[in-house]
Amino acid sequence: MNADGAVGRASWTALGTSVHVLVTDGHSIETATAAVGDVLDRIDRACSRFRDDSELTALNRRPGRPVVVSPLLLGAIDASIRAARMTNGASDPTVGEAVRILGYDADFAALPSDRPGPRVVIGRVPGWQGIRLDARASTVTIPRGVSLDLGSIGKAYASDLAAEEAFAAVGGGVLVSLGGDIATAGAAPAGGWRVHCSDDSSIDPASPGEVVALTEGAIATSSTTVRRWTAGGVQRHHIIDPATSLPAAGPWRTATVAAATCVDANAASTAAIVLGREAPEWLRQAGLAARLVGHDGSVVRVAEWAAPLAAAAPGASAPNASATATSAA
């Protein structure tokens, strides 16, 4: 911390979501934000499915053959495959075409308030097992008929990378929140980073609600309540069940998970929404602490999820832990 004990913070919007950066040394906030901003710009150019000039768009246009990609995109796709393997396919990057058909085919802020209902075909998505990575040649091959969507894992991957690069630049404790997907690096302030848990990362972190202390690692939230759109008069959300290609319809509206990395936390929170009633046991078996919120507002805490704190300390509150999980790309 700096001499007066103040935590430095900055907030802005990028990748279609809110960005919050906190540092234990308030004097280093400009350096930290510059490092984070650089990471987010590179992630956007590599991983966005809404940019015609992104690497991911170019890859999706060339199925069936190896495509040379940057180390950044290769790393993001590798992270998405790891997430799929970790969750037994409940988090799957090959949901891209299903999401597009359902109407999420542009940056969320640009979606119309309503549109004609899509012709939905129910069935399993192609599956992550068909993706081929060649790290030595820096190539990725996707099967024909596959469109990758790295929105969920891409945002978490960006959080992890941004926290690491900001820490390398400033040398002190750093917290990075992208739409509520939170990664930390370095030593946390005394008592930990105070994280407000809610369905929506845009609300004031000082508002009433559960607050937990994060001393290391990451927290990510997936929610069906915020990033929603209407097609043919039917409301839809972005968390797709790979088994049906439709929005997940389980009992949880929000899942927040703590893990060593934001990628792992995000994969598990997405999987929890998809797995539904099986989620608590799956999380226990994985040893992941989680907070699940039902559609009726009931809360289930899993695997030693920390007891909530009474309130966030003045000047030390982190941004909210929760937000929808697909706004990065």
- Residue-wise pLDDT tens digits, 161-200: 999 999 999 999 999 999 889 999 999 999 899 888 876 6
* pLDDT for the residue 20: 93
Q: Which pLDDT value is given to residue 114?
A: 59
Give residue 5's pLDDT: 54
Q: What is the mean pLDDT of each run of 10 residues along the chain (329 residues)?
A: 67 90 96 98 94 96 97 97 96 85 55 57 86 97 94 92 98 93 95 81 65 92 73 67 86 95 97 96 96 94 74 40 28
The residues with which 8 forms a beta bridge, in sequence order, are 23
Taking only the tens place, the pLDDT of each residue in 74-115 is: 999 999 999 999 999 999 999 878 777 766 554 545 445 555
* Global confidence as pTM: 0.86
| 54/300 Cα distance (integer angstroms) | 40
Length of the chain: 329
Helices (H) and strands (E) in the chain, counts: 7, 18
What secondary structure letter does DSSP report for 243? T
**Chain centroid offset of residue 10 CA:** 20
Structure token pair of residue 1: 């911390």
Distance CA(326)–CA(238), nearest Å, equals 7
